[in-house]
Structures are given as structure tokens and as C-alpha cells.
Amino acid sequence: MYTQAMSVGPQDQAAKVRSAEDAQREEAFEARVAAGDFIEAKDWMPEHYRKTLVRQISQHAHSECVGMLPEGNWITRAPTLKRKAILLAKVQDEAGHGLYLYSAAETLGTSRDQMLDALHTGKAKYSSIFNYPTLSWADIGVIGWLVDGAAIMNQVPLCRCSYAPYARAMIRVCREESFHQRQGYESLLVMMREGTPEQKAMVQDAVNRWWWPSLMMFGPADKDSPNSEQSMRWGIKRISNDDLRQKFVDATIPQAEILGVTVPDADLKWNAERDSYDFGAIDWSEFWRVVNGDGPMNRERLGARVKAWEDGAWVREAALAHSRKQATKEQAA
């Protein structure tokens, strides 16, 4: 009678040795991460850790690139040369963030073409927030204030992510996001302090539309977040989705008061016992609808990225032809 336990061919023995080695490596890896050590690209890592990072970093990179679209919509219509120059620089920064992040993900052994293919075929996610339309100029200030503000709250802890290439990329990204947040807030302050009643109403309308989607950026509630527990244990995520969301509300409401706007939440109130704001229930059905492709702008956003990829084919082909020509020249020399 044959059982698996009796099968002791050379291949099985090799597999046993490998898995014992892997178990030892895994134990050493877990100990390093638990001690707060940083993991470099060439270090051994469990396959699931690698996959989790590729998933998160590539989605983050896609978010930065798709995130250029709602703001890009207003570059030609910015009200002054100064605002146009600021917005152009901000949108370029977002492209730069996407590029650092694609590079960080590439260190894990995945190619940029694979990541972009996953985006273009709808397999990869990007932040829900960029599936909402930018209807007025005030939306641009509100994106800086709330969307970049939420992004910073989520990304500062990522500067201490256990995967060092991601952590290093995030340091520069956070510095730039912090400038983005301030420029957005300043442009809203100008409208609220010096603007006409119509301009002030435009700011309030933009806050009303962007508030809840900004809170959704932090992801599902902790109890419904399938990836959080493992990512926290591995030091990829340092603070949970709900805790970051709470910190964001607590930091943002005093800023809203200075601006002179309100947020569209009848249940918002200061809780002295918790030393924090209580806030209303998030519409998670809207969140999942948008994440799963049925938000107000999902089709336009993905369509624009696919078109940009197709329109850019000649640039990629020309770059490849140029590098082939250079290589031939070098060989001949």
C-alpha cells in the first residue's frame, strides 16, 4: 500500500530540505521585521510579503498617475498664471510619484509592463477618490486640502514601512504632498476671505462633494479589511485604516472652522471623553461600487489611461530603436 508518507524519492527529499530551509528563513525574516528592521530588495522574503507589496505599491503608483486626470482637467482653466503654474507643477509631481513607486515595485521582480497591463485590463485597483469629477475651480483647492491631506495622513507612516525601497520613496513623496496640501488650503482661504458670495458657495459645494469620498480613501473599516492584519504584522502598514481616518477627521475639522466651511455630516461632534470627533456612518455601498468600477468617472479615467498608453506607443518604439542603434554602434567601435 502506498501513501504520501512513504514516498521518499530524491525529489521529495530535496523538497523537504528546501522547506526546512524556508521555514528557518521565514522565522529569521519574521524576527527581523518584528525587531523593526528594514528589508532590502535582495534580502530573502516570503512570497506572500512580496505579493502584498507588489499589490499595494503598484496600486499606489496607479493612483498617483490616474490622480493626475481630475486636476489636469483644470490646467487650461486656472484663474491666474500663478495658479496655473502651481497646478502644472503639482500634476507633474504626481507623475513623478507614480514613477518612483513603479520603480520601487520593480525591485520586487515585477515589470512595469505587467503592472500597467493589470491596470489597463481592470485587474489592478487605484484609489476610489479619483473616480469623482472635478466640477469647479474650488474642487482643485479641495483636492489639495482634503485628498492630499488624507494621502499624507496615510503615507507618513509608510515612510517607516518595513520594505526599505518603498519607505525611501515615500519620504520624498510626503514632502511634496505636504506642499500640495498647503497650496490647496491657501487657495481655498483666498476664496473664502476675499471671494464673492458665489465663490464662497462654490467652495462649500466642493467640500460637500469631496468630504465622504476623502474619508473612504483610507479603505474599509478595520473589521472588513482582509489585508490589514497581515500587513500590520509585517510592518507594511503601521496604523490601521480606522485609526488613520479618525486622525484625519481630528486634524481637518479645526482647519474647516478656520476656513469657514462645514462638512456634510449631521452626526459630527466633539467627544471630550475620547478627545476626538465622533462622525457619521460612511456609505460603504458607495465605496465598493466605486472600487468595483461603477463610480461616476471610472470608465473615463481608465479610458484616458489606456488611450495615453496607446498614443505613446511611438515614443516607446522610438526609444527602443534608438537604444538598439546605440548598442550596435558601441559593438562596432
Binding region for ligand FAQ (CB under 6 A): 55-56, 59-60, 63-64, 67, 94, 125, 127-128, 143, 147-148, 151, 154-155, 216-220, 225-228, 231, 237, 241, 291
DSSP state of 271: E
Nearer to ligand FAQ by Cβ, of 98 and 200: the residue is: 98
Query: CB within 8 A of 237, min separation 6: which ones?
Result: 157, 158, 161, 228, 231
Is 269 in a helix, a strand, or coil? strand
> To the nearest whole angstrom, how small is the minimum distance from the Cβ of residue 7 to ligand FAQ?
36
Nearer to ligand FAQ by Cβ, of 129 and 200: the residue is: 129
Q: How many whole angstroms separate alpha carbon 97 and alpha carbon 102?
A: 9
Nearer to ligand FAQ by Cβ, of 127 and 191: the residue is: 127
Is 278 in a helix, a strand, or coil? strand
> To the nearest whole angstrom, how small is the minimum distance from the Cβ of residue 125 to ligand FAQ?
4
> To the nearest whole angstrom, how small is the minimum distance from the Cβ of residue 252 to ligand FAQ?
15
> To the nearest whole angstrom, how small is the minimum distance from the Cβ of residue 107 to ligand FAQ?
16
For the residues of 222-273, what is the DSSP string, one character each? Answer: GGG-TTHHHHHHTTS-SS-HHHHHHHHHHHHHHHHHHHT---S-TT-EEETT
Nearer to ligand FAQ by Cβ, of 152 and 200: the residue is: 152
The angle subtended at Cα 64 by Cα 119 and Cα 160, nearest 5°, is 110
Nearer to ligand FAQ by Cβ, of 25 and 247: the residue is: 247
Q: Report residue 118 as a C-alpha cell.
A: 493589470
Contact 120, 309 (CB under 8 A): yes
Q: How many whole angstroms separate alpha carbon 35 and alpha carbon 287?
A: 36
Q: Considering Cα of 176, then 308, then 304, then 53, what sign does the dihedral take? A: negative
Nearer to ligand FAQ by Cβ, of 25 and 174: the residue is: 174
Nearer to ligand FAQ by Cβ, of 151 and 263: the residue is: 151
Q: How far apart are the first and last CA of the chain?
A: 69
The residue at minimum Cβ distance from ligand FAQ is 67
> To the nearest whole angstrom, how small is the minimum distance from the Cβ of residue 100 to ligand FAQ?
12
> To the nearest whole angstrom, how small is the minimum distance from the Cβ of residue 63 to ligand FAQ?
4
> To the nearest whole angstrom, how small is the minimum distance from the Cβ of residue 237 to ligand FAQ?
6
